[in-house]
Amino acid sequence: MLRSRPILRAMTGQAMPDLSHETLRNALRAQSLFEDKTWQLSPEAWPLTAAQVAELDAIGAACLEFHHALETLYLRAAAGKNLLRNKPLLAPWAADYLDRGKPAGLIAHARHPRNRGAFPTVLRPDLLLTDEGFVMSELDSVPGGIGLTAFLNRLYGGEDCAAAGATAAAAGIIPAAGSGIIPAGGTAPAAAVSAAAAGTDVAGILGAGDAMIRNFHDSLAALRPDLRSPLIALVVSDEAATYRPEMRWLAGQLQLQGKRVFCLEPGELFPLGSTLCLDIEGNPEKIDILYRFFELFDLANIRIADAILESWQAGELAIAPPMRHFQEEKLGFALFHHHLLADFWAETLGRRTLQLLKKLIPMTWVIDPAPLPPGAVLEGPRVGGRALTDWRQLAAATQKERDLIIKISGYHETAWGARSVVLGSDCSREEWQAGIGNAVKDAPANPHVLQEYKKPRRVRHRVYDRERQPREVDGRLRLCPYFFNLGGKPVLSGALATFCPPDKKIIHGMTDAALLPGRLAALANPKSQ
C-alpha cells in the first residue's frame, strides 16, 4: 500500500519537487560523463502534454516507415527497376544523388543482399517546436546524447523512479517503461496514456526505469538472437571523441547489470582470423556486435575498417547502425518532396504516415547545378517572384526571401554538429553567396541541400540565474526523442530538450542552453505552465 500512494499522486497531477542548484551541480560534477561540458541548469524537466507524447510515438513509427521506403527507393533506383506497381516510374538519378562521393566498396556493401532490411537501431529526429507544431529538421541515425539523456532521466526522476515505475506497471496502472502499448479505447487518464506511449515513472519522466539504457542494449543484442550474452563493443572514433565519456558511462552502467559491453577506441580492436577481437586481461575476446559511434565519412580514418567489413562478411559480426550510406544523407528529405517521386511515396507509405511526414519535413531541395534546357526552371524557392533557372540566382534573394538553410547532405566531416549550416536570414550577403558557391562547387562529390527554415516559437521555462535562483525566461526549443528499434517497433525511451535563448537561430547544445529530459505536463511543476 505504501507504493500506491505516489502513483495516485502522479495520476492527480502532483509534481516532484524542484531540484536545487546545488543538487544539480553536485550530480553533474560527480560524473566523468560531463567532462568539459557546461550548460544552464533548470529545477525541473521539460513539460510535454499527453497529446505531444502521443505525437512523438507516431513520429517514431513514421521515421522507421520512412527508412523502409527509402531503402526500397534506393535499391530499386540503383537496380533500374520500376518504382510503382501499375505504371512506369524509373529514378536512377535518385540513387546517383545518394551515391555521389562514396567509395565503390561502401556502395557495394550497402547494396549487399544480407543488408536488406537492416535499419538503424537508434532513431533520433531533431524536432523544433514552431507555431505550427513540431518540425523535423533532421533524422539522425548515429545520435549522441544517449548516455546524457539516460543520466538526466535518473536525476530528474528521483532515486526511487525505477522501483516506483515497476510497481505501477505491476499494478496495471502504468505499463512497463518503454512498452509502447496504448490502452485500448483511449479512456485511460492522460498520464496513463502518455506513460503507455513513452514509458514513464510516477514523476512523469519519459523513459524512466532506465529505459534508455535497457532498450539501447536490447536493440543491439537482438542483432544476435542466437547468443544468450553477446559481447558488444561501442566503438567511438577520434572524430567523435567528445562523445566518448558518455559512451563509456553507458557501457559502465550496462556492465553493472552483468552485460558484456565495452566502450573502445578503434585502435583497441584487432582481427583474429575472420573474427574481430578486443583484449580483456591479456586474453582475446571475440566481438559479436559492433556499435559504431562514427559516421561513414570517418571510415577511411579507422585502421581496422577492412577487418570490420571482413568479419561482417564472414558472418562473425553484426554492425549497428548498418554501414549503409543512404541512411545518413539529409537529401533523403529532398527526395521525399521531389515531385517526380510523389506517386512512389504515396504508394509506399501508409496514408497517415505520408500526411504526418508532409507536415513534419520542411520543403527541401538538392542543390544540383546540372544545366537546364531553355525555358526550364528549377524546383525550388522563388526569388523576386520568379522561379530559379540557376542556383546561383539565390544570391540575389532579399533577407526576407532568405529564410532558407544550406547544409551538406552527408558523408563529410562538416555534416554533423551544425558545422556546415548556413542560415540565409542570419548571415551577411557575402556569407550567403559563399554558401551557395560552395554548394554548387561541391555538388559532384558532396551534394548540399536547401531547406526552408521554420523558426521555433518562443516558449518559457524556469532556469537558475547567476544568483542560483529559479527564474522563468523566454527561449526556443529543440526536442530530440530517442527511439530504439525493438522487434521492428520504434520504442520511445526518452527525450532530450535543448532550451536555448531566444536570439539563437540554430538550436544545438551550447553553454547558454539548458539540457533537460522530457516529462508529462500533467505532472510538471504548475509554475512552468
pLDDT band for position 512 (50/70/90)? confident
Encode pLDDT of 341-381 as tens digits. Answer: 999 999 999 999 999 999 999 999 999 999 999 999 999 99
Please report which confidence band the pLDDT of residue 190 belongs to, taking 50, 70 and 90 as the band edges. Answer: very low
At residue 524 the predicted structure's pLDDT band, cuts being 50, 70 and 90, is: very low
SS3 522: helix
Q: Which of the four pLDDT bands, split at 50, 70 and 90, describes residue 108?
A: very high
For 338-469, strand residue ranges (E) read: 364-366, 382-383, 386-387, 404-408, 422-423, 448-452, 459-464
- Only one residue has cell 502518455, namely 194
233-275 pLDDT tens trace? 999 999 999 999 999 999 999 999 999 999 999 999 999 999 9
Q: Are 454 and 113 in contact (CB under 8 A)?
A: no
Prediction pTM value: 0.89
pLDDT of residue 365: 98
State the Cα–Cα distance between residues 197 and 47, nearest whole angstrom: 15
Q: Which residue has the cell 505504501?
A: 2
Confidence of residue 29 (pLDDT cuts 50, 70, 90): confident
**What's the CA dihedral at 53, 55, 56, 62 to 10 degrees?**
160
Is the per-residue pLDDT at 419 higher than 80? no
Q: In terms of Cα–Cα distance, which of 145, 168, 154, 287 is closest to 216?
A: 145
Mean pLDDT of the chain: 87
Q: Exposed, middle or buried by CB within 10 Å (0-12, 13-18, 19+), for 252?
A: middle
207 vs 484: CA distance, rounded Å: 11
Provide the grid cell at 236: 567511438
Cis-peptide, bond into residue 321, ω within 30° of zero: yes
